[in-house]
Amino acid sequence: MSIIFYGYRRCKTSREVERALTSHGLDLKFIDIVKSPPDKGVLKTLVAKYGVEGVVRGGKAEARKIIEKEGVEEFLERLRLEPKRLIRPIVIVGEEIYAGRDALKVVSQPLKKKVAQ
């Protein structure tokens, strides 16, 4: 099963998680999060799972203000325009999504097959 891995080569956490997953023989499709940020659907899923604080790297109070003033859609669009603010890596395995070091759970949990769309 291919695993979508949104990462950033200069990010220590991205490199560590990538190394851990590949050392377990997992096939990763690496996508540079800065050049090709995840779409709004992925970001909505992340916010639903981790909350704003779990998705943003710093500026969490600013993120909450944007959401309160302009709404979640505007916040997600800003994240897409400034992808370095996103926690990384973002790992998608079938129907499951993980962010940051939480992605290490991929090697400790059985993988679910992706539901046909």
**CATH number (domain holding residue 97):** 3.40.30.10
CA dihedral 12, 36, 80, 34 (to 10 degrees): 30
Question: Which pTM does this prediction carry?
Answer: 0.85
| pLDDT digits (tens), the chain, 117 positions | 679 999 999 999 999 999 999 999 999 999 999 999 999 999 999 999 998 888 888 777 888 888 889 888 888 998 899 999 999 999 999 889 999 999 999 887 655 544 333
Task: Determine, yes or no, domain membership for 80.
Answer: yes
Task: Determine, yes or no, domain membership for 114.
Answer: no
Task: Determine, yes or no, domain membership for 113.
Answer: no
Task: Determine, yes or no, domain membership for 112.
Answer: no
Whole-angstrom distance, CA of residue 101 vs CA of residue 91 = 10
Range of the structural domain that residue 49 is part of = 2-107
Long-range contacts at 101-105 (CB < 8 A, ≥ 24 apart): 101/13, 101/16, 101/17, 102/50, 103/17, 103/21, 104/17, 104/20, 104/21
- Tally of CA atoms within 13 A in the half-sphere of 30 that contains its CB: 11
